[in-house]
Structure 1
Amino acid sequence: MMVNQLPIPSYLVDKLRGIGVEALYPPQAEAVSKGLLDGRNLLVATPTASGKTLLAALAASKHLDRGGRVVYLSPLRAITSEKKQFFEELFGDRYKVAAVSRDYDQPEEWLRGYDIVVSTNEKMDSMLRHSASWVKSTSLVVVDEVHMLAAEERGSTLEVLITRLLTELPNAQFLLLSATIRNVEDLAEYTGADIVSSSWRPVPLREAVYQQDRDELFFSDGSSERLPRLSSDPVKNLVLNIVSIGGQVLVFASSRRAAEGIADDLASALRVVGGEAAQLSALAETVYDGGDCSTRLARYIRRGTAFHHAGLYPHQRKAVEDAFRAGLLKAIVATPTLAAGVNLPARAVIIPDVKRGGEDMSVMEYKQLCGRAGRPGFDKEGLAVIIAKNSRQRNEMMRRYVHGQLEPIVSRLSDQRRLRFHTLGLVSSGFSDHNELVAFFEKTLASRQDSGLMEKVDSALSYLEAAKFIKHDGGGWRATRLGKRVADLYIDPLSARIILSRLEDVEKAGPKADDVALLTICSTPDIELLSHIQPALDWFRDYGDFDGPAIAKASVLKAWVEEMGESTIESRFGAAPGDIYVLSESGSWIAQAASELAAMVGRRQASKTFLVLSERIKHGVREELLPLCSLPGIGRVRARALWNAGIRRVEDLRRISTEHLAKIIGQSTATRVLEVVRER
């Protein structure tokens, strides 16, 4: 089926041709034949790179031409940026495109002026809690990566979000995009969608097990191939063989340490030729920031490889991804989050180890990793390899993974902690009548899989009532003023209870109030546990009623707000820059929420402590630098440099020349800062 035969606007046909799309792939053609352009709800379950995003664009064009609004939901911020760029390329000269994430305490009413809204699942769920009025005019909802319903932490949010949108937008079209899944019929029944399911790929995939004691690849079709032995190490041997014939490789390691170790091995084996050396050296400079992690990354990049994990800053990860897409890097060694995060195909995917935190990876995860093999337009076929030590292990890997059956998608909504979170969100949004709540939960996937779901909902309601977040009157359930604020702040009800129980301790702590406040927010389930972080027990020896994980997280944040250098934080606590980034982002958010809750219950002193702490965590500075950090381009390092130069207040900058300021913070930043100061 050719794109110029489709009933879509001519401008879109021209745009698609401009990016090389002349004809539809078979699954795309099937989606069109099943009513994609006629407003039918569809569940499209096909492999990676089979063109699912293009289906969203085709459907979007029909809705936009009729004055509708399109909402595109994705699980990760990295994907929202990628999809925003995609839609802007196709529709940006006619329609307005926005991407939103984080900042869960806003309805974002400004989005009423946008035609295409790309949002993370959590952000969209939070906007529904705030009763964002612009949502009602949505006529197309696209849900990307809908198989993430099975994700342990985030799947329940996606399920509640889909169920709410189906309930509140009964006339909208829903396009659900998924990897190949086992129980596709269950999801189709849950969403009321017709099924488009296919194993077709634009680049054929060959799956194999590499038996390292024979240097031999055993393929899923029963054939085998001996490889030249270019290294005794199995990963190095595979990578060198693939790179030698012009391919690029993604290696998926089981941990950050393993990823960096493999990258180190590859850096010693790969050879950089010609003009690549200068380009790689320039790339290395862009990711280097003086820290230990970036030092290692820059060293490996100069040899044509890199690691990629959550310990890196987002801009460092993006630099690695862009260089790989450009063919500059020959191999990336990544933790599995890369497979879910961005579109980054390679000639070959190598999986050295199936262990994930002591447990074997699922078949679904294995297939997702394999799906990155094969670059459309570049490779005739993709190769996915799992490594086995001997024939016994090879047979087991072949049986369990290569020929294994996908696990069914199982709802995560029945988990009591997640159920309390979402039940409060529903009650605070107006689901007050008990029968109304029952009717809502009966529409979920969980109700089809867990016969005891409603008993768990009743238990969640009892918990929330005991916490004084909701109350029951003659008309049904309603959120208290406090409960409504907890729901709008988008924090776990347990986090709120922990914070409220510690407010008096914060106010009685005197000069140690910041320490108690830090430990309080780090005790909440909303701040992610990073198991590899080491605590500074000597800093918090007087606080024995806080557990080890809370002390570990608080140690990193205390070092951060006391302006300890990132390389020192990494060497002392094991927290890489990316860890600091994640902890500071969530820590600032929860501290801000704690400030608001404290104010609501009349704890003004605690409220101020948490508010200042939130800003300090956001910027990574002592309190005296906060006014300077409000200026554009002034972070923790430049703010301290200004302070040390005698510039203590924003007003001090009015008496300084651009030349003088440039010597402290650089010419471009100095010019920008003084422009802002003079406008105030």
Structure 2
Amino acid sequence: MEFTPIDKLNLDERIIKILKKKGIEKLNPVQTDAVNSGLLEGKRLLVTSPTGSGKTLIAELGIISHLLSNGGKAVYITPLKALTAEKYNELKDWEELGFKVGMTSGDYDSDDAWLKNYDIIVSTYEKIDSLWRHNPSWLSEVDYFVLDEFHYLNDEERGPVVESVAIRAKRKNLLALSATISNYEKIANWLNAIPVTTNWRPVPLREGVIVEGKKSYQVIFPDETIEIKGNDPIIAYTLYVLEHGGQVLVFRNSRKMAESTAKKISSSMGLLSLPDKELLKVGEEIKNVEDAGSDEKEELYELVVRGVAFHHAGLSKGLREIIERAFRERKIKVIVATPTLAAGVNLPARAVIIGDFHRFNRKILGYQEEIPIMEYKQMAGRAGRPGFDKEGEAVIVVRNKKEAEKVFKKYILSPPEPIESRLGNESAFYSFLLGIISSEKKISEDDLEDYAMDTLLDKDVAEKYVKRGITWLRDNEFIAGDDELVLTKFGKRVADLYINPFTAKVFKDYLTKSDKSCNIAYLHLVAYTPDGPTVSVTRSELEELVDEAPCPLFIEEPEDEDEFYNYVSALKVAMIINDWIEEVDEDVILGRYGIGSGDLRSIIDTMDWLTYSGYNVAKVLDLKEHYDVLYTLNLRVKDGVKEELLDLVKIQGVGRKRARILYNHGIKKPEDVVMNVDKVKSLLGQKIGEKIAKEAARLIAGNA
């Protein structure tokens, strides 16, 4: 494989200087292939190569070469906020050339006009899709798009947005980056791009299985079988890797399994896990995290001081960041995670153990389904730390030799599933159409059909959906016009809010025919929309929650079993948020509903967006009795407070706890803070009190 010294490339001297500062003297085979395929000359490329093979640098070279040659702006798009922050930090190095790097994600009801002053913008697929609907002038200057983690096109949830963005990006210049795509020729052809594909990895990967032998466990690789002793295959192989100086990532198919496996590994480590000073420091950080529940922190502390942690979406952002950093710094030796970790942050380990190749699916008889090959490849791809390991090892736990053969054939020897369009349902496709009409402002049916034909869908399917979609959007008053389609006032507001049109229809249908109700009813309505957050519901909750509703709900109880589950899930979300806005202690909420602090934050963020959207839909429809309630509800959801604290939480630095302390001592609005600075200092502490008094004064001056 070819490594190319950067001095031998046709690179601008300024680029070479920054690459050397980053410690890069040569391009690896993947990067060399991309350059040889025309990366620096602005050719459109689809680069598919394994995790950790240096695709980010390819993007950096593509962006900088394009900007130096053509001017304009470039956008780097990722599927996850965590990745956006990571890529933003890497691209900041290029500010030395005079290019300003900006980052944006979230807040979908905004055109981010401030980005007109930036040359390189890092964002998520959802945010870029929402920005197109707002049509800011700076977005028309973007003529180079990097579509990172492009295999997310195949994701049930995110795929429709990735495809929507790609359809518009491919009308400009683009670079798509992905892990292995089996049908890369078809996807490259669709993007009008040159495929650059390789299996080269900086650290070679060995893939195998763990199976029970006669007196021990056998780790079977194609070229070698290792015998290891122990009572549990995951623990036995983890200890084996640790004894040989490696780190381990274990993947389990549920949070409960991740947590219990981490505890078992920790208690089996013996002398290997005696706490040292570094781990005790990490443990103290865990204890002091502000955005997490007490039980979570206590559980993790006990594990982290022994070099083990669990990791899943139920953990708060603060906890996840500490665990990830300590693992990168090689302090934590073992992380047991759910598969979400494999798709997110860059955390390589010597060995990856996949504890389950089945996962829970409530819609399937028996509730178990085999994981996709792509998901396995994402997890296995984390094996091997560049600079630390000569090779990485990924193993799947199997029950017997027969299962081992099946797993080898399906997961290790087969390519991942081909990438297909996820726009093939009404909800996704109608949202796509609404977005196109919004970004174009007005468009003929023929031109809209051209966009539809540009999707990855079969042409007959796309034609059927576009005709039905136009009729549905017109019948439900999102669009108007005959020769040219335009958004109605209602349709434009829905497009700008970045909610699914079916969500807007739920708001419209129920609010226009219902009288005012209690907070739980509004929260349930919001959570029951297609955009609403979902939580798991126990059998007892299915029976009890409906009886606990304090007032009549807007939506009648459905008879369909699946719909009833969703109905109760939305009611559970409503009760969680109602507790939140009634200032119930976070630890109590977590315990009462069996959720994690990460779940709570995710639910709050989504319900904040949806109550805001519900308020705006009610306002554009002039439903005053509803929009007043939803407006207040949105303000309360944002900060988790009773109505009486809304004035205080407007002060920067004052959250629900500080606001309650101040209010209970007679300080009820920003003016009271300014008039009673000494009292505020005595209640909140000298430094914090002084800072909050300044913020209160600034707020009052801004409102004057």
- Normalising by the residue count of structure 2, what TM-score does the alignment of the two structures yield? 0.91
1:572 aligned partner, one-letter code: R
2:636 and 2:97 map into 1 onto residues whose CA distance is 41
Q: 1:647 aligns with which of 667, 670, 684?
A: 667
Structure 2 segments unaligned to the other structure (5+ residues): 361-367, 558-566
Of 410, 415, 423 in structure 2, the residue corresponding to residue 400 of structure 1 is 410
Equivalent residue for 1:526? 531
Tell me the residue number matched to 1:454: 463
After TM superposition, the structure 1 stretch with the greater mean CA deviation from structure 2, 130-139 or 189-198, is 130-139
> Aligned residues, how many?
667
Q: In the superposition, relative to structure 1, how do residues 49 and 277 fare at CA in structure 2: closer, same or farther (>3 Å)?
A: closer
Measure the CA separation in 2 of the matches of 1:181 and 1:589. Answer: 34
Specify which of 432, 457, 460 is matched with residue 422 of structure 1: 432
Distance 1:504 1:325 in 2: 53
Whole-angstrom CA distance in 1 between matches of 2:569 and 2:649: 30
Q: 1 CA distance for matches of 2:304 and 2:581?
A: 31
- CA contact 2:677–2:689 (8 Å) conserved in 1: no
* Cα 1:649/1:666, change in 2 over 3 Å: same
Following superposition of structure 1 onto structure 2, how do residues 348-387 of structure 1 map, counting pairs within 5 Å?
Answer: 348-357=351-360, 358-387=368-397
Does the 8 A contact of 2:276 with 2:305 survive in 1?
Answer: no
Structure 1: how far apart are the matches of 2:107 and 2:136? 14
Residue-by-residue CA offset, 1:485-540 (whole Å, 9 max, x unaligned): 1111110111111111232566432xx2x222111111111112122475744541
Deviation (angstroms), 1:2 = 0.9
* Matched residue type, 1:662: K
Q: Is 1:100 matched with 2:104?
A: yes
Rounded to whole Å, the distance in 2 between the matches of 1:290 and 1:162 is 40
The answer for the alignment partner of 1:495 in structure 2 is 503
* Aligned partner letter, 1:648: K
Q: Which residue matches 1:221? A: 222
* 2:144 matched residue in structure 1: 140
Alpha-carbon distance between aligned partners in 2 of 1:266 and 1:627, rounded to the nearest angstrom: 49
Partner of 1:441: 452
Three-state SS of the structure 2 residue aligned to 1:429 is helix
Q: Which residue of 1 aligns with 2:122?
A: 118
Which of the residues 329, 344, 347 maps onto 1:344? 347
Tell me: CA distance 1:212–1:284, structure 2 relative to 1, closer, same or farther (3 Å).
farther
Query: Following superposition of structure 1 onto structure 2, how do residues 177-188 of structure 1 map, counting pairs within 5 Å?
Result: 177-188=177-188
Equivalent residue runs for 1:464-613 within 5 Å? 464-473=473-482, 475-504=483-512, 507-509=515-517, 512=518, 514-532=519-537, 534=541, 536-540=545-549, 542-543=551-552, 545-546=556-557, 547-613=567-633
CA contact (8 A) 1:99 1:118 kept: yes
Deviation sequence 1:382-426 (CA, Å, 0-9, x none): 010100122122222112211123210011011111011111121
Cα deviation, residue 165, structure 1: 2.1
Aligned-partner Cα distance in 1 for 2:618–2:477: 15
Deviations 1:221-271 (A, max 9, x none): 2421112x2x31211111111111111111111011111111111221231
Which whole-Å CA distance do the structure 1 matches of 2:651 and 2:98 have between them? Answer: 35
Q: Is the 8 A contact 1:283 1:301 kept in 2?
A: no
TM-score (normalizing by structure 1): 0.95
Q: What do residues 345-403 of structure 1 show as CA deviations (whole Å, max 9, x unaligned)?
A: 11111100111222110111101110000011111000101001221222221122111
Corresponding position: 1:310 with 2:313: yes
Correspondence for 1:33 among 18, 36, 57: 36
What does residue range 631-670 of structure 1 map to in structure 2 within 5 Å? 631-658=651-678, 660-670=679-689
Q: How does 1:270-349 map to 2 (within 5 A)?
A: 270=269, 271-287=273-289, 289-349=292-352
8 A Cα contact 1:489 1:593, kept in partner: yes
- Distance in 2 of aligned mates of 1:151 and 1:426: 21
- Give deviations 1:271-319, integer Å, cap 9, x for gaps: 1354334323323323474532232222221221111111111121111
Q: Could you say if the C-alpha distance between residues 218 and 267 of structure 1 is closer, same or farther in structure 2, counting changes exceeding 3 Å?
A: closer
Could you tell me whether the CA contact under 8 Å between 2:14 and 2:97 is conserved in 1?
no
Q: Once the two structures are superposed, what CA deviation does each residue of 1:159-217 show, in whole Å capped at 9, x if it has no partner?
A: 111111223x3xxx311001111100111011000010000000000001011345444
- Matched to 2:388, the amino acid is F
SS in 1 for 2:27: coil
Q: Which moved more, 1:281-290 or 1:249-258?
A: 281-290
Describe how 1:147-158 pairs up with structure 2 within 5 A: 147-158=151-162
Aligned to 1:79: 83
Contact 1:47 1:179 in 2 (8 A): yes
Q: Distance in 1 between matches of 2:437 and 2:444?
A: 9
**8 A Cα contact 1:206 1:381, kept in partner:** yes
Separation of aligned partners in 1, 2:217 and 2:100: 53
Going from structure 1 to structure 2, the CA distance change for 1:651 and 1:34 (only over 3 Å counts) comes to same
User: Secondary structure of the residue that 1:508 maps to in structure 2?
Assistant: coil
**Alignment partner, residue 242 of structure 1:** 241
Contact 1:75–1:121 (8 Å) recurs in 2:
yes
Instruction: Give the Å deviation of 1:643.
Output: 1.5
The one-letter amino acid of 2:549's match is F
- 2:30 is matched by which residue type in structure 1? P
Structure 1 residue 40 displacement after superposition: 0.2
Q: How far off is 1:478 after superposition?
A: 2.1
Distance 1:212 1:563, change over 3 A: farther
Tell me, in whole angstroms, the C-alpha distance in 1 between the residues paired with 2:629 and 2:514: 8
1:141 Cα offset (Å): 0.9
Write out aligned runs for 1:176-215 (5 A).
176-213=176-213, 215=216
User: Mean Cα displacement is larger for which, 46-55 or 271-280?
Assistant: 271-280
Q: Note if 1:673 corresponds to 2:673.
A: no
